[in-house]
Structure 1
Amino acid sequence: MVKEKIKISVRDMVEFILRCGDLNDEFLGSSNLRALEGTKIHKKIQSSKGENYKKEVTLRYEREFDEFIIVVEGRADGIIVDDGNVTIDEIKTTSANIDEIDEAYNPLHLAQAKCYAYIYSIQNSLNMIDIQLTYYQVDDGDMKFLRYTYSLDELKIFFDDLIEKYYYWASMLYNWIRERNSSIDKMDFPYKDFRKGQKKLMVAVYKAIENGKNLFAEAPTGIGKTISTIFPSLKAMKKGLTSKIFYLTAKTIARTVAEETFNTLRTKGLKAKTLVLTAKEKICFNEKTECRPEACMFAKGHFDRINDALVDIFLNEDNFNRSKIEEYAKKHMVCPFEFSLDLSLWSDVIICDYNYVFDPNVGLKRFFQEKTDFTLLVDEAHNLVDRSREMFSAELFKKDFLSLKKEIKGKSIKLEKSLSKINSIFLKLKKRCGEKGYFVTDEIFSDLNGYLKQFIGEAELFLSNERKPFAGEAVTDLYFEVIRYLKVSDMYNESYTTYVEKKADDLKVKLFCLDPSKLLNETLEKVRSTVFFSATLIPMAYYMSLLGGNRQDYGLRLDSPFDIKNRMILIANDVSTKYKDREKTSEEIVEYIHTVVSKKKGNYIVYFPSYEYLNMVYDIYKERGIGYLLKQESAMMENEKDDFLRMFEDGRNGVLAFCVLGGAFSEGIDLAKDRLIGVIIIGVGIPQICLERDIIREHFERKYGQGYEYAYLYPGFNKVMQSAGRVIRTEEDKGIILLIDERFLHKNYIKIFPKEWFPYTKVNKSNLGFHLDSFWGNF
């Protein structure tokens, strides 16, 4: 019988077993700069070496135990072979004073190098080997070398002790995987019957994972997309095709649905460790998030207690949700957010926001450095287009630098000077805006980047010198904005453009990602399979092109499982909702709404393209004193959103809600049966014309000859389809969808109508009531 192999990297094993002390987000270690500059510096140092220097050497070691084999892998930065003497070179970047670096600076650095030295020694029959720790000071380029010599026996004692300690964790994981796989093997589909199209989707998901492909699946409401993607992914996990599943969402409610689905499967015997990741600011126990031992009792001694917390929760819980993480974090006095990140290593399934996987600034980098066998399930994938543009873009505002300069005046001459230099660059850019008030270019302004890097260095010194009470928060906020901007400038390629725009009394400089496909594809290439699914991936070619797809990917379009007799699509083309016509046609819109709600008592939602338009029509309707009205506000708290939706609990209430297209109540909400019997959609949903949308239009006009479609038509129509999808949620649901805008009957729209929108009925003010009576009269 072939023994199972449990893999871990040298770095992960060293950090996991040997870490201790406080959690500290201070800037002394320059972790942010190392993330920004580290790769470049490594390559620079490596390329400066001679022919006897082998760089990025992959090392692998297997240790067999009774039950399984532990595989330890890693890459040594460099191996120097000189006259028979061998030296392992480990390169580290730092912003600390180079004179302060000694053997006690960071014991984990030496421990990592000792592991590489041991593996290399036994593979090459060496009795003695040297280690060199190369420290590079990122601000001034100074370097320091710490050298050590070890015998094979010394290294063996160290490595054996390390791997024996890890064996406890590996055996715990091994036993769990056997238990998990046994439960998946016995697990049946949790529902008695399959919905129409459900089996087809499940087979497609499994085949995609089995064959290591990506799948783009357009599955209309009612098929049961969540269970239909999760169930086959778990079956693939049992077969050893994938070792970890990421369920990615854009909204909290979708994460809740995924968590509930796993709980349903647990009632059918599933045993799986699922983790729900919550943002740091939300899960932090303190009013203000400060990860320093002086400011937080959970940060002090965090690493001394974290492994005990991990064992405790792993042996006693399967659902690592927010409440459980908080419970065990308090019990063991550890940071709940860092605790959840560590739990991700021991979880079978991670339910989280898109950004944990795709965002270069906050992504779980521990998982996506190398090629893996992971599976990504991307829920409501249509949202990822704009979200990824946002993740890969960065902007800076002139006013932020000026304000900070005033706030720190007299407290740091060097920091003030760096802010002045940055401001001078902004002033030059402002002049280039001319009368238009903006300009677009392919430049990344290297002179600005140089001064921004100076600012980073001075900001770190300022913050490390305990001057926080004066302006620490303002410096920290801008520090991270600049870090983000510089990271994005490192990714800048032909998919980007830069624009500078005057904004009232301010100036914005933005590195704008027009086409996120290449950057998304970098992540897709590192996992086994990605399943993109949504009810509205129309047109599919648009989404495949922007979400990193390629010709080898699978595409699937499923029909709606619902009887079209239960719904009526009405299109009113005698009213213009274009911006210039809105005021003069608002009374007509009110008449349309009133006709719909008066024909059948129940709950309705009217969707508008903007709050301005919504408020205009709402005020007219309210004056007439008709029915019970609700209105979506532009900034609603989670509890206010919950209260809003609770008003739909009883279909007899006769609620009429005014909401915005693309807002919190236009997708992801499930108002089944008589909780919602109709939606009225005002306008075609095209995004407001603005500089960014026009830049996107020009780019895709040059690239595909479809600039308007990519910038305006497709994103807008997706909002319309999502809002229309709120009505029919189950086989018992019955309802109407009224689209008000003459443009809906143009050929550009009709050709992208989903299949279930046919047949539709053209209506006007005079015959709308007749068609509504005919429809409702059937039930």
Structure 2
Amino acid sequence: MATRVGIRQLVEFVLRKGDLVESKDSQNTALAGARIHRKLQSGRSSDYESEVYLKKVVTMNGQDYVISGRADGIETKDDGLLIEEIKTSDQAFEEISDNTHDLYWGQVKVYGYLLLQDNPDFDEVTLELTYFQVTKEKITRTKEVFKRAELTKFFNDLIKEYEYWLTLRADMRRDRNDSIKELPFPFPEFRTGQHEMAGAVYKAISLQKRLFIEAPTGTGKTISTLFPAVKAMGEDKIERLFYLTAKQSTRHVAEEAIAMMAKDGLKLKSITLTAKDKIRFPEEQDVAPEDNPYMVGYYDRLKPALKDLLTHEELITKTVIEEYAHKHTVDPFEFSLDTSLFCDVIICDYNYLFDPLVYLQRFFTERNLENFFLIDEVHNLVSRSRDMYSATISNAAITPLLKKAKTIKTQPSEDLQKELKKVRRGFKRLSDSLEEEQLTEQMSPDPPESLLRVLRKFTDFITDWMAQQKPSDFLTSVQDFFFDCLTFVKIGNLYDDSYQTRIVIENRTVTVKQLCLDPSDFIDKSLNMGAGAILFSATLSPMSYYQNVLGGLDNSLAYQLPSPFPPKHQAILVTQYIRTTYRERENSESAIVASLYTLINAKKGNYLFFFPSYGYLQQIKEAFEAVHPGVKTTVQAPAMNNEERESFLDQFQKDPDETLVGFCVLGGIFSEGIDLRGDRLIGVAIVSVGLPGLSPENNLIKDYYDKENGKGFAYAYQLPGMNNVLQAAGRLIRSSHDTGIILLLDQRFASRRYTELFPPHWQYYQRIRTLDQLSATIDNFWNQTEDTNENKADS
């Protein structure tokens, strides 16, 4: 399979020079840009063809490369050829840097060369650059005629310059594929279900399919997806793999899996992308790009830095990027993105593919069947994607900005004040319309178009205004509000039937939210940027729900694995004598405390108790400690940092001298992604079915899915809550030697609505009707467990 090299990628890599200038945030999203392109293209002649794919195969170092791209428009007439390249930006054409201008023309000159290759009867081509300034809706056109010989020399010079990098990539790819051929599975044997899962992944990649996999805790999901994907890569079924995660901890697990394979001989370039604010050097903070030594002359130092890194490193982590960025004085974040173009595996957060505001444009502007996606803990993508495609704006920042602006006696400040007052009036019109109807809150399926119009004009103004300002605290405050407005405008460009607008007035603050109820179409389009995807998690039940909300209902396969551990290693106990609905919480408090104590009193060890909210957690914790002050407890606090998180987990030691109880929140940092093996955890109690709190926004989701499929309550409340329950319960059994008890404290768990959601390895769940029965059942479980362990020891 020939390696594909995009024309834009080729031109930018070879011709970029000088400083790294961070691109100004533009309203020109990919979707808006596509609309502008279509609008401009629609007025062309009948001889004009839009979006024409051009390519040429170039052979170097015994390897074929497809140099390809899509020209915005080609006009073919008997008397000549014309190629149009359309560029959109907020900047005025006159403000574009010389380097950017060269890149634009470099791209269209390559298209011109390829078009002449396909049309040998012509010796010249007219190249036209159409520049659309979004903020002013101003069009600037420039034309130039190029001869075949001139464009041939330009193309050959580009390829010659790029030859080293093409050869480097070819050599790396050959070494990679050779190392993969004999690569063994990095463990002595497959766990139960692991071989089957790996086979399903390999087959899905070979067939370019989208596959949802539920693989219970202990299956070894990371290596079961990465290993077959790497094998498929070695057979040229895919060229690049994206491993997408929601949490930093799972990114580390992916790194460890690749490191294990590297010990067995794998030679593969992997990189972990880190968020800009987490990898920027301290000396870069609050420094203008023109004063930042890591940005000034960045492109002049980039290629030596890349050569150094790529010839010495395989597993490129955050630490490695920082080391080479320091050595060559290049910005570490941008350096990581430029390095990723040469990597086989890219480990990164969901937003690099799915977020419409920050996705990786160098990879995901058009579909590339050489890319494949592995999406870990995909249950997290449901809420994350709703957040990515929603946006909130309020008028809270306007008055403080106006007060500060009035103290600055300059014309730019006066202009800013006028524009801020226009935005304030836009919010006032919304609040007046609600107050006329004596409302403090309003829901609507219509976009907030009147406010969007005001904010579009405001962001146009601020884009120009900020360019004239010097760094200051005031400028930072203006920028913060500007970015909020810009995000709101960009999401407004996506608004469709899956959205609702919510307007809330509270203490004269007007808050407007564009809420995406169903992001499935957006996720589907993102996943279509590659050949296929494996979407996997320990909890994806019911599978049809996740396929629906994650854009795979009609175009994906599903695969569910059994637990690799004996089901009887854990007892699933459902207390039918406890009600945890809001009205019953006071009445059930003593029964909950007694049941929790019964769980821990039977066997000394470490336990986790989970609650649906911090308020409920605190209520039961205080009641528990009042009755049992001698029990050692620890509690999850809101917004814990990494150090506090590790300190919390470090308390759960092997073979403890006394019982320890951790009070935690369902859906929080300790309900998934933690690994307390063996007797570091022997019991989990979950209080309530974990329903998300009743809220206007959840009710909007409920109403939406009631209309879509009649399952509104399940989609908005029950299934997200049950997923949190299953994730928390999954903290218990982490290896084949683990045993323990899961105590479900809510009679609703015993109803059919919930038992039909229980995974297969919960088949031996027991209904508990009294506290005495609970005590006897727990004692019996531990006695049987100890007898089993003694028999194993004797044998």
After TM superposition, the score normalised by the length of structure 2 is: 0.94
Q: Specify the alignment match of 2:274 in structure 1.
A: 278
Q: How does 1:291-690 map to 2 (within 5 A)?
A: 292-373=288-369, 374-409=371-406, 411-433=412-434, 434-469=437-472, 471-623=474-626, 624-653=628-657, 654-690=659-695
Alpha-carbon separation, structure 1, partners of 2:348 and 2:620: 38
Deviations 1:440-462 (A, max 9, x none): 11211322222111111111111
Alpha-carbon separation, structure 2, partners of 1:470 and 1:199: 57
Alpha-carbon separation, structure 2, partners of 1:20 and 1:621: 66
Alpha-carbon separation, structure 1, partners of 2:143 and 2:205: 47
Secondary structure of the residue aligned to 1:367 is helix
Tell which deviates more after alignment, 696-705 or 76-85: 76-85
Alpha-carbon separation, structure 1, partners of 2:284 and 2:94: 34
How much does 1:298 deviate?
A: 0.7
Alpha-carbon separation, structure 2, partners of 1:466 and 1:403: 19
Secondary structure of the residue aligned to 1:87 is strand
Alpha-carbon separation, structure 1, partners of 2:689 and 2:193: 29
Q: Specify the alignment match of 2:173 in structure 1.
A: 177
Tell which deviates more after alignment, 757-766 or 136-145: 136-145
Tell which deviates more after alignment, 291-300 or 768-777: 291-300
Alpha-carbon separation, structure 1, partners of 2:473 and 2:377: 44
Alpha-carbon separation, structure 2, partners of 1:139 and 1:414: 17
Select 2:724's aligned residue among 710, 719, 727: 719
Q: Specify the alignment match of 2:55 in structure 1.
A: 60
Alpha-carbon separation, structure 1, partners of 2:730 and 2:29: 46
Deviations 1:20-46 (A, max 9, x none): 11112264xx65547574333322222
Q: How does 1:722-737 map to 2 (within 5 A)?
A: 722-737=727-742
How much does 1:101 deviate?
A: 6.3
Q: Specify the alignment match of 2:69 in structure 1.
A: 74
| Contact 1:98 1:142 (8 Å CA) reproduced | no
One-letter code of the match for 2:416? L
How much does 1:48 deviate?
A: 2.6
One-letter code of the match for 2:381? L
How much does 1:470 deviate?
A: 5.6
Change (3 A) 1:408 1:82: farther
1:752 aligns with 2:763: no
One-letter code of the match for 1:341? L
Alpha-carbon separation, structure 2, partners of 1:6 and 1:520: 27
Change (3 A) 1:210 1:65: same
Secondary structure of the residue aligned to 1:351 is strand
1:224 aligns with 2:224: no
RMSD: 2.0
1:50 aligns with 2:45: yes
| Contact 1:212 1:528 (8 Å CA) reproduced | yes
| Contact 1:245 1:376 (8 Å CA) reproduced | yes
How much does 1:750 deviate?
A: 1.2
Tell which deviates more after alignment, 167-176 or 419-428: 419-428
Tell which deviates more after alignment, 713-722 or 618-627: 618-627
Alpha-carbon separation, structure 1, partners of 2:450 and 2:698: 28
Select 1:89's aligned residue among 71, 77, 84: 84
How much does 1:83 deviate?
A: 6.2
Alpha-carbon separation, structure 1, partners of 2:175 and 2:469: 51
Secondary structure of the residue aligned to 1:366 is helix
Secondary structure of the residue aligned to 1:15 is helix
1:17 aligns with 2:14: yes
Q: Specify the alignment match of 1:41 in structure 2.
A: 36
One-letter code of the match for 2:680? R
| Contact 1:544 1:550 (8 Å CA) reproduced | yes
Alpha-carbon separation, structure 2, partners of 1:147 and 1:564: 72
How much does 1:65 deviate?
A: 2.8
Change (3 A) 1:113 1:378: same
One-letter code of the match for 1:112? Q
Tell which deviates more after alignment, 63-72 or 743-752: 63-72
How much does 1:218 deviate?
A: 1.1
How much does 1:695 deviate?
A: 0.5
One-letter code of the match for 2:171? N
Change (3 A) 1:400 1:322: same
After TM superposition, the score normalised by the length of structure 1 is: 0.96
| Contact 1:292 1:299 (8 Å CA) reproduced | no
Change (3 A) 1:32 1:172: farther
| Contact 1:102 1:146 (8 Å CA) reproduced | no
Q: Specify the alignment match of 1:186 in structure 2.
A: 182
How much does 1:505 deviate?
A: 4.1
Q: Specify the alignment match of 1:153 in structure 2.
A: 149
Q: Specify the alignment match of 1:6 in structure 2.
A: 3
Change (3 A) 1:304 1:451: same
Identity of aligned residues (%): 39
Secondary structure of the residue aligned to 2:290 is coil
Change (3 A) 1:586 1:341: same
Q: Specify the alignment match of 1:116 in structure 2.
A: 111
Alpha-carbon separation, structure 2, partners of 1:329 and 1:627: 51
| Contact 1:26 1:292 (8 Å CA) reproduced | no
1:775 aligns with 2:781: yes
Secondary structure of the residue aligned to 1:460 is helix
| Contact 2:16 2:99 (8 Å CA) reproduced | no
Change (3 A) 1:404 1:593: same
How much does 1:600 deviate?
A: 0.5
Deviations 1:552-585 (A, max 9, x none): 4221111112112221111112122222222333
| Contact 1:697 1:708 (8 Å CA) reproduced | yes
Deviations 1:698-746 (A, max 9, x none): 1111111111111100000111111111111111001011110111112
Alpha-carbon separation, structure 2, partners of 1:479 and 1:375: 36
How much does 1:520 deviate?
A: 0.7
One-letter code of the match for 2:653? E
| Contact 2:288 2:471 (8 Å CA) reproduced | no
Change (3 A) 1:239 1:98: closer
| Contact 2:27 2:490 (8 Å CA) reproduced | no
Alpha-carbon separation, structure 1, partners of 2:174 and 2:396: 58
Deviations 1:296-327 (A, max 9, x none): 22111111111211111111111110100100
Change (3 A) 1:473 1:598: same
Alpha-carbon separation, structure 2, partners of 1:753 and 1:657: 25
Alpha-carbon separation, structure 1, partners of 2:60 and 2:9: 20
One-letter code of the match for 1:260? E
